[in-house]
Structure 1
């Protein structure tokens, strides 16, 4: 799903691995006239109940959509967080971590310092991927 037009070669590669491409806007509520869909409604369209890897690059929409996204079983989240304040970015990272996701990689965008890429894995997927946890620092363990 993307709001921007994609190169045909990318779409062809998606089809080769059983993926699909739809040009839509992610929103809190579905409005088909405006081509806006909630995350949960997108999953219903494709009859998905869980996600192995979710790449999120929704140009700031992650702040309003994160509650919906985290309500679905996801193994890994790869997210680009756009342009919020340091506090806003930290809040969304902690929101993800509080749902038992562990940060395993991050990088700052070299062009726009307010944008960063963060990669998380859910603790339920540790055995599948052979994860060894050395520490946790985004939330307090209870």
Structure 2
């Protein structure tokens, strides 16, 4: 009974904050660029702070799903698998995440790779978090990482990863990569990779010009055929659909 009540409360809380975010968007010019531009059904997958809205209509057991940024939470992946019974390819070069996932009893549908995504395929500096107890590092030198604490990690372009895994297209791409999403998305769009759906956490809070970065990236996504269909209550997790696969 307690678990059911807890789940109902979490659903109510998520709905409340989603409606609050709608109010913020519609009555504040500051966030006009986050306005959804297409109406589609969507479902929240993952934890309260680690999930995303997804358009589920065309996902199935044969869908190809890439998730970049694991941390210590694969609830997004597990909920997708529980509904669609599909394979998910997860990636994270963070030492803590690699160690954490090796200690978990994960389903066979989750295939984990200990490298990250970048706008180039290279062994590069990866900056670790400033604060003790924080997990996520970044290739990007941003306010949440320590420029004096870095390690070398392998990073790959998406097109090279897909080639290695023999994939021609992606049904759902999740990006939670701590500020590197801006350059990565620019490279992905330039490569013209067939992607049906992108869900991304924008870490504009890590940069002085973060809002400008996010607005410019969303404009670039729009110009390449992607439209916003849902935004989280924090206004950071944004979900895009490729217009060619919207209906």
Q: TM-score, normalised by structure 2?
A: 0.44
1:8 and 1:104 map into 2 onto residues whose CA distance is: 35
- The match for 1:12 is 106
Structure 2: state its 5+ residue gaps: 1-90, 124-151
- Extract unaligned runs of 5+ from structure 1: 110-114, 128-142
RMSD: 2.2
Write out aligned runs for 1:47-58 (5 A).
47-58=166-177
Q: Is the 8 A contact 1:11 1:21 kept in 2?
A: no
Task: Pick the structure with greater CA Rg.
Answer: 2
Structure 2 residue 179 is the aligned partner of structure 1 residue 60 = yes
Q: How many pairs are equivalent?
A: 119
- The answer to whether the 8 Å contact 2:169/2:194 transfers is yes
Which of 50, 72, 86 matches 2:193?
72
Cα separation, 1, equivalents of 2:164 and 2:196: 20
Q: Does the CA contact (< 8 Å) of 2:200 and 2:239 recur in 1?
A: yes
Instruction: Report the CA distance shift for 1:11/1:80 in structure 2 as closer, same or farther (over 3 A).
Output: farther
Aligned to 1:93: 218
Structure 1 residue 10, shift from structure 2 partner: 6.5
Match of 1:118, SS state, is strand
Q: Deviations over 1:68-126 (max 9, x none)?
A: 322211111011111242111111111111111110111253xxxxx710001111112
Q: Distance in 1 between matches of 2:165 and 2:187?
A: 16
Contact kept, 8 Å, 1:56 with 1:80, in 2: the verdict is yes
Q: 4-13 or 41-50: which moved more?
A: 4-13
User: Quick one: distance in 2 between partners of 1:49 and 1:43?
Assistant: 7
Residue 99 to residue 43, structure 1, CA distance change in 2 (3 Å): same
Query: In the alignment, is the contact (CA less than 8 A) between 1:40 and 1:68 conserved in 2?
Result: no
Q: How does 1:31-46 map to 2 (within 5 A)?
A: 31-32=122-123, 34-46=153-165
Runs of 4+ with deviation above 6 angstroms: none
Question: Which structure has more RCO (C-alpha within 8 Å, separation ≥ 6)?
Answer: 2
Aligned to 2:116: 25
1:48 is paired with a residue whose SS is: coil
